[in-house]
Structure formats: structure tokens, C-alpha cells
Amino acid sequence: MTDIIDAHHHIWRRRDLPWLDGPMQPRIFGPYEAIRRDYLIDEYLADLAGTGVTVNSLLPGGACDTDPDRVKRPGQTLLPVDIMNPVVVWLASDLSDGKTGGRYVGKLWDGSLPPDQAAAKVTALRQLLVKKQQRAEK
């Protein structure tokens, strides 16, 4: 089976998305009643079973500038679109075989490190950020 990269998906907890709890509103993406619930990694992984997806969860770490001719606005910081390139190359290589459950954030990738070390650093930084957020929620 050919390896497939799922380069964009969402995992969420309803409590983290207040707009899911309010009254239904017209949205650009249409009706969203089906997603007004938690959708966590275990369910996502079950949904992927047998699909051939072997790589997932690429995060640029912020909004990306997809228009090089865009007029820059004061205070607006957009990431370059190629920020994910080193992460994608690593994930598509044999070096990432067996890696699962990680979130690889492009803006945290340290290009001065060998890819395996950069991946480990990104995963560790992401875990620290999640723990900090969890402590703040308590």
C-alpha cells in the first residue's frame, strides 16, 4: 500500500471551542451539528485504520502567508509558506518510521539540528506548551 500523508486534520475538545456550544450560526463551511462533540486522537486513529495514512499532524504554528503580493499590515505576522518543508521532508523519510502521536510544529523546528534531534525537540516543546496550558486551565 502507498504511504499517504494527511497534511491537515483537526483534533478538538468541545470545551476548547466555545463557538461549538453556542446557538447554531450560519458558517462558511455549512452545517456543523455533527462536530459539536469531542473528536480526540483515539477516534481519529480509528477513523484512519486501513486507509494507508502513515503520516499526519503537520502544524505551521500560525497563519501562513500564501500570497507573496499581499500588502503587509502593521502588527500582522504571517509565517512563510515553506516553514513546513523540513518537517514534511523528515516525515516522508525513513527517519520518521515508527513515530506516532507527535505534533510537529513548523515554527518550532530547529533547522540547525539533525532532523531526528529537531523532531524530538519540537515534540518536547509542544508537550511543555500543552502542560502549561493544562495548568492554566485548573
Contact 58, 106 (CB under 8 A): yes
User: How far is the C-alpha of 43 from the C-alpha of 120, rounded, in Å?
Assistant: 25
pLDDT confidence band for 92 (50 / 70 / 90) = confident
**pTM of the predicted structure, to 2 decimals:** 0.53
Query: Any idea how long the chain is?
Result: 138
- pLDDT tens for 49-84 read 888 887 665 666 777 777 777 787 787 778 887 888
Helix (H) or strand (E) holding 55: strand 53-56
Mean pLDDT over residues 96-113, rounded? 80
CB 97 within 8 A of CB 86: no
Which has the closest alpha carbon to 6: 62, 41, 55, 64? 55
